[in-house]
Amino acid sequence: MPNRVVITGMGVVAPNGVGLAPFLEAIRTGRSGITHHPLLAQLEFSCQIAGTPLLSDEFIANYFSEIELRNFNSSGIMYGVIAAMDAWRDAGLQIASSEEPDWDSGTIFGTGTSGVDKFREAIYKIDDLQTRRLGSNVVSQTMASGISAYIGGKLGLGNQVSSNSSACTTGTESILMAYERIKSGLATRILAGSTSDSGPYIWAGFDAMKVCTFKHNDSPESGSRPMSASASGFVPGAGAGAFVLESLESALARGARIYAEILGGELNSGGQRGSGSMTAPNAMAVQRCIRNAVQHAGIHASEIDLINGHLTATSKDSLEIQNWAAALQRSGDDFPYINSLKSMVGHCLSAAGSVECVAALLQMQQGFIAPNINCEDLNPEITSIISASSIPRIQRSHPVQILAKASFGFGDVNSCIIFKKHISA
């Protein structure tokens, strides 16, 4: 019989809060973490605002040794390690001894890029004929699997240790991949999540594509406007989210606190066919992904209380709502509550799905719906499909038993997870 899979630990490094308690307060109150970045203005970016986690040197020193921080230059690995170690501690787990790894525990932790600033540093040294001065940690900070390698070593993990990468679906994909491994009995617990580097070398390509807003450089907190009629593009962000997934049997045996059970999910692609392309979703595939996730979870669409959408504050927001309504066969006043964390943190790219899942599960655990800020002027194309009451603009106390989370990414890839609140016996 397949194992049931639950989440027993979480960690987050977000633009509006580092750690669960500050992050929870931020999403409850609708506090934005988006600020103006003088460097982006200096580099003549059109979009000069972004969401970046605030970390002091003293705080970072709690997670990395002095030796590890020597010549360290990878914001993504830093964010991911901090979120991962916090999740491990939050789950009440111990770090494996120095003698033998924890064979039952592993990590699947994703990223879009790794150590872009470290790569730039290395390129300049090579061009200046200083290859021998690169040091010994360039490879570990720039290889795609650098994040999972760091986490695996920090925690002494002896099961699968690997990184996934699937654009903006990376975070939700990592959770589903971990879910399948535990469900099949190949691991007892997996630390899943994703991270994203911050800075101009990550965000420049999106600025060049003109998909980022340029209208709010003087009012950064109002710049990210999912589902708004005045949305003018996304705001780039960065951070990391992490989760300890384990079998229900293991969690109960050690008396762990359980955030939620994963009922099922789906990963698919539109194949860049039909309406799909490298940058646009195939509506048929999106709807199929949502429908299959509901079917695999063994629930009825009418049971979903809250959707945490992908909703990036671009022209695709109304299409996403249309796809949800069609897939669930729910519209108008029958549509569930829906929100987008991106209104507060921007689009954290490869970290988006994991940071947003932390926010979603905190809402489930605490029994509230976080506000969608900056959408006072709801997009009429959206309100022609669903009721405005489904899009809360202030915090609402509301029990959440079943939650659907979806992410969609470049390459026409899709993911959807169904979570259920765990009720202790």
For 343, how many CA atoms within 13 A lie in the half-sphere containing its CB?
A: 31
Specify the pLDDT at position 126. Answer: 60
Specify the pLDDT at position 135. Answer: 67
How is residue 291 written in tokens? 């429908």
Same domain, 279 and 344: yes
Same domain, 278 and 384: yes
Specify the pLDDT at position 134. Answer: 63
Helix (H, G, I), strand (E, B) or coil at 74: coil
Residue 313 lies in a domain: yes
Number of structural domains, the chain? 2
Residue 389 lies in a domain: yes
Residue 258 lies in a domain: no
Specify the pLDDT at position 140. Answer: 74
Same domain, 239 and 293: no
Specify the pLDDT at position 125. Answer: 60
Q: What's the rounded Cα separation, in Å, for the pair 113 and 300?
A: 37
- Of the residues 235, 253, 271, which one is the last residue of a structural domain? 253
Residue 224 lies in a domain: yes
Classify the C-alpha dihedral 104-3-181-169 as positive or negative: negative
How is residue 400 written in tokens? 């959440």
Please give the chain's pLDDT, 425 residues, in tens: 899 999 999 999 999 999 999 999 999 999 999 999 999 999 999 999 999 999 999 999 999 999 889 888 899 999 999 999 999 999 999 887 778 999 999 999 999 988 777 656 666 566 556 666 666 677 777 788 999 999 999 999 999 999 999 999 999 999 999 999 999 999 999 999 999 999 999 999 999 999 999 999 999 999 999 999 999 999 999 999 999 999 999 999 999 999 999 999 999 999 999 999 999 999 999 999 999 999 999 999 999 999 999 999 998 999 999 999 999 999 999 999 999 999 999 999 999 999 999 999 999 999 999 999 999 999 999 999 999 999 999 999 999 999 999 999 999 999 999 999 998 76
Same domain, 222 and 304: no
Same domain, 95 and 219: yes
Q: Phi/psi zone of residue 244: left (φ > 0), alpha (ψ -120 to 50 degrees), beta?
A: beta
Residue 81 lies in a domain: yes
- Of the residues 220, 253, 286, which one is the last residue of a structural domain? 253
Same domain, 185 and 279: no
Same domain, 50 and 193: yes
Which single residue is written with the structure tokens 């079998």? 247
Same domain, 169 and 213: yes
Residue 372 belongs to what domain range? 263-421
Specify the pLDDT at position 113. Answer: 87
Same domain, 218 and 297: no
Same domain, 241 and 187: yes
Same domain, 171 and 320: no
Specify the pLDDT at position 401. Answer: 98
- Of the residues 206, 232, 253, which one is the last residue of a structural domain? 253
**Cβ-contact 416, 406 below 8 angstroms:** yes
Specify the pLDDT at position 13. Answer: 98
Same domain, 112 and 141: yes
Residue 65 lies in a domain: yes
Specify the pLDDT at position 70. Answer: 84
Residue 339 lies in a domain: yes
CATH code (residue 333): 3.40.47.10
